Structure 1
Amino acid sequence: MVLPKLVYENLPYLYFLASGGLLVLGDEWALIFSAGIFYAVACIVLVSRSAHRRLDKHKANSIQYLFPELIYEYLPYTYAAIGIFVLMSTVNPFYQFAAFTLLILALRNLLCRKNNRTKSPSLF
């Protein structure tokens, strides 16, 4: 089965929207579990697509990560999930600020990662 490019490229974001929609519907454990599944699937799809589309693969083997590569790949998504969970579950301004900071950090990491991986290889 082949999906149209418009649907295929946006499918992980639809999973994120489904996850958010399920979280908004209620706080039953089944809804939270389903939202977590949708979120995890979206993250897995995005990370696997990123790995296959990298233009800087020649540099990937020489990079020494602080964390194992698998954890490194999913870390921004973990930051975002924790930030969203804390924002939804607390009214304390300090915790909300910390959650917002985590969301900004996750967004920054994802944008920098996308920028670095989509550059063509250069000599310098």
Structure 2
Amino acid sequence: MYYPKFIYENLPYAYFLVCAYLLAFYDTWPVYTSAGLLYCAGCITLVTRSEYRRLDRRKDIENNPAKKNNLPEWLYEYLPYGYFAVAMVIVLKTTSATLQFIAFCLMILALRNLLFRMNNRRKAKSLF
């Protein structure tokens, strides 16, 4: 099935928006399950697209950050999304200032990791 590029490119972000809406305004277990499934679908879509579109195709293992940290590749790819999910649950479901500060730090860490990955997975600029 073919979707227009505008819809195809923004679909994972629509999953995230619907997930956030469900978590913010409803408080039942079926809604939590639906929000979790939508979040997982968005994460899987983004990681799969990132892997497919990589321009830096890792040829050498020593430059692979997952191998340097002894993490499985799948865990390394999904870790920032896990940080962000935990942070959002803490923000939405607690009122403790300490826990909300920890959630804010987790969000910053997730955003930092995702931005570094986006930058590092592009083709290096050439002198010629």
TM class by shorter-chain length?
A: over 0.9
2:104 alignment partner in structure 1: 100
Alignment of 1:1-124 (within 5 A): 1-59=1-59, 61-62=61-62, 63=64, 64-66=67-69, 67-120=71-124
RMSD (CA atoms): 1.6
Partners in 1 of 2:111 and 2:59 — Cα distance? 23
Identity over the aligned pairs, expressed in percent? Answer: 50
Deviation at 1:122, TM superposition (A): 5.9
TM-score by length of 2: 0.90
Partners in 2 of 1:65 and 1:3 — Cα distance? 39
Stretches of structure 2 lacking an aligned partner (at least 5 in a row): none
- String of CA shifts for 1:15-40, please: whole Å, max 9, x gaps: 00010111122110000110000000
Partners in 1 of 2:126 and 2:74 — Cα distance? 26
Give the 3 Å change call, closer, same or farther, for CA 40–65 of structure 1 in structure 2. farther
Contact 2:94 2:100 (C-alpha < 8 Å) held by counterparts? yes
Q: Which amino acid aligns with 1:75?
A: L
TM-score by length of 1: 0.93
Give the 3 Å change call, closer, same or farther, for CA 57–10 of structure 1 in structure 2. same
Q: Which amino acid aligns with 2:25?
A: L
Matched position secondary structure for 1:57: coil
